[in-house]
Structure 1
Amino acid sequence: MTRADTLLQIKDAEAKAAQIIKDAQEKQRAIVANARRDAIKRIQDAEAKMREDHEKALATERAKIGAIKAELINKGKEEAGKVKAHSASRTSAVCQYLKESFDRSL
């Protein structure tokens, strides 16, 4: 084996090593890119699930508040009806009292 053959083999070995390093770097970049995409997808999925859970909880609470509101409105209407009925029953007595008071003052 001559010196030229030895140098040629070294040059070929260096070229192969450089190609192996280049391929490994490309593979590493691809792995990192895939990992980033996967991480972004997982984060987006988690955020979407969190928003969905939040909306469900919010809808449940709104329904509870709506039921409480309807109950309070119904109680208020019942109480207003009682007050109106009570005032209607006393209207004639109050009118009579006012007439008598007016007549007494004359």
Structure 2
Amino acid sequence: MSRTDILEDIKKAEADAKVKVEKAEADKKLAIADARRASVQKIQDAEAQARSNYETSIAKEKEALAAKREALLANGKSEADKIDEDIDAKLQKVKDYLNEEFVRTLDVSS
């Protein structure tokens, strides 16, 4: 091989190496861009999952609180009804007592 052939082979090898380096750089940039997109997607998916879990937990707690509220209201209504019954019974006793006292007062004065 002559000196020119050797120089041409070297230039060709350098050109091939340059093309390979440029392709590797482009592949690297593409891989980095893909990785960034994938990481952004994972973050968005995690945020969506967290929001979903939060909303589910809130809804579950609201249901539990509503059930507890209804139970407390039912218990309170039951107690109020019992108090009303007791008041009615005591009120009748008071009426009877006042009526007896009134009649006794009339009997004493006659």
User: Shared topology, TM-score over 0.5?
Assistant: yes
5+ long unaligned stretches in structure 2: 106-110
What aligned pairs does 1:26-41 form with structure 2 within 5 A after superposition? 26-41=26-41
Corresponding residue number in structure 2 for 1:73: 73
C-alpha distance after superposition, 1:28-62 (max 9, x if no partner): 11111111211221222122122212222221221
What displacement does 1:2 show? Answer: 4.3
2:20 counterpart of 1:20: yes
What aligned pairs does 1:1-106 form with structure 2 within 5 A after superposition? 1-92=1-92, 93=94, 96=98
Compare 79-88 and 20-29 and name the one that shifted more.
79-88
Corresponding residue number in structure 1 for 2:108: none
Determine the C-alpha separation between the residues in 2 that align with 1:19 and 1:33. Answer: 21
Q: Give the letter aligned to residue 83 of structure 2.
A: V
Determine the C-alpha separation between the residues in 2 that align with 1:35 and 1:59. Answer: 36
Identity %: 32
Determine the C-alpha separation between the residues in 1 that align with 2:46 and 2:70. Answer: 36
Determine the C-alpha separation between the residues in 2 that align with 1:68 and 1:5. Answer: 93
C-alpha distance after superposition, 1:50-78 (max 9, x if no partner): 22122222212211111111000011011
Aligned residues, how many?
100
Determine the C-alpha separation between the residues in 2 that align with 1:60 and 1:51. Answer: 14
Q: Give the letter aligned to residue 96 of structure 1.
A: L
Query: Normalising by the residue count of structure 2, what TM-score does the alignment of the two structures yield?
Result: 0.73
Compare 68-77 and 85-94 and name the one that shifted more.
85-94
Query: Normalising by the residue count of structure 1, what TM-score does the alignment of the two structures yield?
Result: 0.76
User: CA RMSD for the aligned pairs?
Assistant: 2.5
Determine the C-alpha separation between the residues in 1 that align with 2:68 and 2:30. Answer: 57
